Amino acid sequence: MLSKKTQYAFHALTYLAENKDKGPVLISEISQERQISLKFLENILLELKKAGVLGSKKGKGGGYYLIKPPEEVKLAKVIRMLDGPIALLPCVSLNYYEKCENCQEEICGLNHVMAEVRDNTLKVLENKTLADVLRSSAS
C-alpha cells in the first residue's frame, strides 16, 4: 500500500496541477483544501521540491508550483521518491536493487514471477502521469 505521505503528495500535486495558472500556491491553501496536516505537508512538498518536481517562491505572493507540465510527471517517479521501491522483492527492484539474503537468484523461482508483477505494474505507473489523475479529467 502507498503510505499516507505518498497519497498526500498526489493530492497536493493534483491540486497544484489544477491551479497551475494561478501562480505559486500556499502550503496552507493546499492543506486546507485537501485536508492534510499543514506541518506534514510542508515536509512532503519540500521533498518533492528537492526531487525536482516542484519549484517554490518565498515571501509574499510565494508558494509552490509545478516545474513541469502535468503530462510529464510520471506516477512511478512520485511513488519512488517518497515510498521507495515499487517492486515486491528487493532483488527485482530496478531502482532500489538489493540482493536477497535467503535465496540464490539463479535458482529461486520467485523472482521471475515478481519481475513479471513489477513489469505489469510499471506498464501503468510509468505511462500514466499527473494529467491522468486530475479531478477535472473525471468529468
Residues that bind a second copy (CB under 8 A): 1-2, 7-8, 10-11, 14, 34-36, 75, 84-85, 87-90, 100-103, 106-110, 112-113, 116-117, 120-121, 123-125, 128, 132-135, 137-139
Cell 519540500 belongs to which residue? 46
By C-beta, is 57 or 123 nearer to DNA? 57
Cα–Cα dist 32/35, whole Å:
5
**Given the rule CB under 7 A, which residues bind DNA?**
3-5, 8, 24-28, 37-40, 42-43, 45-46, 49-50, 56-64, 83
Region of residue 91 (left: phi > 0; alpha: psi -120 to 50; beta: else): alpha
| Residue closer to DNA (CB basis): 2 or 124 | 2
5 binds, among DNA, a second copy, none (CB under 5 to 8 A by kind): DNA
Spatial neighbors of 103 by CB under 8 A, at least 6 apart, are 91, 110, 111
Q: In one letter, which amino acid is 31?
A: S
